[in-house]
Amino acid sequence: EAGVVQSPRYKIIEKKQPVAFWCNPISGHNTLYWYRQNLGQGPELLIRYENEEAVDDSQLPKDRFSAERLKGVDSTLKIQPAELGDSAVYLCASEPLTGGRGTQYFGPGTRLLVL
Amino acid sequence: AQSVTQLGSHVSVSEGALVLLRCNYSSSVPPYLFWYVQYPNQGLQLLLKYTTGATLVKGINGFEAEFKKSETSFHLTKPSAHMSDAAEYFCAVMGSGGYQKVTFGTGTKLQVIP
């Protein structure tokens, strides 16, 4: 089965520019997560979806970050405008309904560099 | 609230030697515990997890971990390191009741010396 797909893999932008990341989870996985991983740190949750509903967005900086999962399948995370401190790896993960809570399947991530 | 502390941001072992990566957790409810591995430029991959039952958990690639409630620990071990084990390892915790987010540690980078 195909894994979690993310694009682009790398993105370099100047500060104040917008940027968007795309994620396609494993087929049939209802739960989708977006994480941010800063250099030398573990992933930190930004938002969690159950199907198309954002059930935990408490960690999402809503002044500049937005996310959507319109049909409950793929998802987009957007930053507008980007700041220098947004440089990080953005990871998408999905989780099946059955098979164990907390068992997440991660994509390779999008490495963002803001200049 | 849950948290994990990984002792040692970098660990070096010789090929064939024992691997021991330390993780201590804090949780207000019975925890679920995980170890993930991350190879360069890749996402995280689940190595093993503890939910309930047997406290010694075996995972992929010869790794295992033991849940010790009295010590609030979940250390990861492998009897004999292989060069391919060089990666970053993350311990993670999640509360067992209702929806609880997974909280990751800061990671331990394992270097295997030939």
Note down pLDDT in tens along chain A; length 115 residues: 689 999 999 999 999 999 999 999 999 899 999 999 999 899 999 999 999 999 999 999 999 999 999 888 999 999 999 999 999 999 999 998 876 678 899 999 999 999 9
Q: Which residue of A has its CA nearest to B6?
A: A42
pLDDT score at A97: 81
Judge: A40–B106 Cβ closer than 8 Å, yes or no. yes
DSSP lists the bridge partners of residue B88 as B38, B109
CB-CB neighbours of B50 under 10 Å: 19
- Per DSSP bridges, beta strands A19-24 and B73-78 are unpaired
Helix residue ranges per DSSP H, chain B: none
Q: How confident is the model at residue B28 (pLDDT cuts 50, 70, 90)?
A: confident
Give the minimum alpha-carbon distance from A94 to chain B in angstroms, rounded to a whole number.
12
Mean per-residue pLDDT over chain A, rounded: 93
- CB < 8 Å to A4, chain B: 43
pLDDT score at A110: 96
DSSP B29: S
- CB < 8 Å to B102, chain A: 45, 102, 104
pLDDT score at A68: 95
pLDDT score at A40: 87
Average pLDDT score over residue span B40-62 = 91
Radius of gyration (Cα) for chain A, nearest Å? 13
